[in-house]
Structure 1
Amino acid sequence: MDEDIKDFTRDQLIEEIKKLRAGIREHRDSTGHDLCWHHPKLWSLLPERTDPNILVPAWSEFMKGCIQYRQSLDQKE
């Protein structure tokens, strides 16, 4: 899957790392609803393209996951 990086020059690798780090930092520094799991901009940093049709759980299961995520944050404090 990542065979393309074998042919990168040192400078190309450095640029790739900077691009990926910027994407990770942008996600890390998100707040509010921007923290939701659907992140096509972050995913677009990968060279392979995927189908944008994402399987989303039913509302009850989706909301249960949101509640569990929020509770996990409270437990870390």
Structure 2
Amino acid sequence: MDEDLERMDRDALLVEARKLRNAIRAHCDATSHDLCWHHSDMWALLPERLDPAIAVPPLSKFMRGCICYRQSLDEQASDAPVHDEEFDG
């Protein structure tokens, strides 16, 4: 699956590593309402082209998952500042 890495020289591997690190940093820097988005741009970094067939839960189950996610943020990042603004999509 990652045969392309075997063909890369050191410089190409460094470019690839920097590209992936920058994408991970951008993803990690997501905050506020941006935490909730589907990040297909991350999948685009893979050499194989994917068209993921995602399954979306019914809205009520999805929203319960959102609440659990938010509660986990309270536990894991209890000192994070609160961004008290409505979503402006």
TM-score (norm 2): 0.78
The answer for unaligned runs of 5 or more in structure 1 is none
The 1-side partners of 2:40 and 2:69 are apart by 20
| Counterpart position of 2:65 | 65
The 1-side partners of 2:75 and 2:27 are apart by 22
The 2-side partners of 1:43 and 1:50 are apart by 7
* Alignment RMSD (CA, Å): 1.4
Q: How many residues align?
A: 77
The answer for unaligned runs of 5 or more in structure 2 is 79-89
TM-score (norm 1): 0.89
| Counterpart position of 2:87 | none
Report the more deviating stretch, 7-16 or 46-55: 46-55
Of the two, which has the highest radius of gyration?
2
Match for 2:73: what amino acid?
Answer: L
Deviation at 1:37, TM superposition (A): 4.8
Query: Greater relative contact order (Cα 8 A, min sep 6): structure 1 or 2?
Result: 2
Q: Percent identity?
A: 60
Q: 1:33 to 1:52 in 2, by over 3 A?
A: farther
Structure 1 stretches of 4+ moved >6 Å: none
